[in-house]
Amino acid sequence: MATRIEELLGAEAQALLTYRSEGIPADSLHLPGPDFLDRVWLQTDRPMAVINNLQRMHNTGRLAGTGYLSLFPVDQGIEHSAAASFAPNPIYFDPEGIVKMAIEGGCNGVASTLGVLGMMSRKYAHRIPFIVKLNHNEFISYPNRFNQIEFGTVSQAYDLGAAGVGATIYFGSEESDRQIQEVRVMFEEAHRLGMFTVLWCYLRNDAFKKDVDYHLAADLTGQANHIGVTLQADIIKQKMAENNGGYNAVKFGKTHKDVYGKLVKDHPIDWTSLAGCELLHGSMWPYQLRRSRRKQRLSRCRNDSSNQQARRWYGTYQRTEGIPEADERRYRTLERYSGRIS
């Protein structure tokens, strides 16, 4: 497996694999493992039904029992037009194609819209954990705004047999105050009904674009993560940090000079450590922030650049340090659904 990781990282392998963070100690991280739920979750205020659904998800799919998760999110039919994402592979216009791919690919769970999962609930909700995405930014109103609006309710997700619910907040946007309040209510109700919660913590504000794009700055995304777990998100989805110093560039908000030098060096691993440490007080674990950078994806993924599902899958298994190698069946499943073989 070590050879495989070095191959995937290419010329950056040594710089990344031998780097040691000096500012943030490794023993401050809650790392994944088979005992993760017992070690971290049982001390929280989550109802036991939530713990049960988290346990079910952790014990589903190829990564069952490892403490790692591979979730398959597909809501492109609303966030973008369905044709933009699925025209190269029309099988995905059928909601069943999305769920079948998640199952055959060995995922721990599948996240999609209320409509997609509602159509498939009686056939598949018992086979793989469903995560219903409850809000979306619809891209048909013009001009579009950085706005997430509710498309479904927590009770609808519960009735179709979902194990969890998900939502997005565009932190920094004009509408973020309302989104924060709506998500707080959603997550409280979801926990009461025994479902876990997933939050997409993205930044959206044109003011974050200065000399570089600070939408992926570690100090700003870290604060978004911190707010997310404060809202009792059980899982955070965040993009890999590509820089740091967003607070200083935007000249707004309050931070500390040690964030830029003493605690965090000018290195991608330290940027990720900073964003991860914002989660230490909450329920999320920092390893999930180690998302593959675009330039590190496999060459065959680049050949399938028109297919978002193929890009996501190829980017998923290459970052699973310490997890068994993907088997031949999984490779063939991914290639078949991405249109590479018939």
Active site positions, annotated:
237
Strand bridging mode 135-136 / 149-150: antiparallel
CB 1 within 8 A of CB 322: yes
Q: Computed from CA positions of residues 24, 233, 224, 43, in that sequence, does the dihedral angle turn out positive or negative?
A: negative
Q: What is d(CA 124, CA 181) in angstroms, rounded to the nearest whole number?
A: 32
Residue-wise over 108-135: b if at least 16 C-beta within 10 A, else e? bbbbbbbebbbbbbeebbeebbbbbbbb
| Region of residue 182 (left: phi > 0; alpha: psi -120 to 50; beta: else) | alpha
| Amino acid (one-letter) located at 5 | I
Q: What contacts 14, CB < 8 A, 6 or more positions away?
A: none
Task: Pick the closest to residue 295 from 10, 72, 7 (CA basis).
Answer: 10
What does the longest C-alpha to C-alpha distance in the chain come to? 55
Give every CB contact of residue 271 below 8 A, 6+ residues apart in sequence.
218, 241, 242, 243, 244, 264
Peptide bond into 286 cis (omega under 30): no
The encoded tokens of residue 31 equal 């790392």
Residue 136, beta-bridge partner list: 149
d(CA 272, CA 336): 33
Q: Which two tokens stand for residue 149?
A: 């609006």
Edge-to-edge order in the sheet of strand 164-171: 71-74, 109-113, 130-133, 164-171, 196-203, 235-237
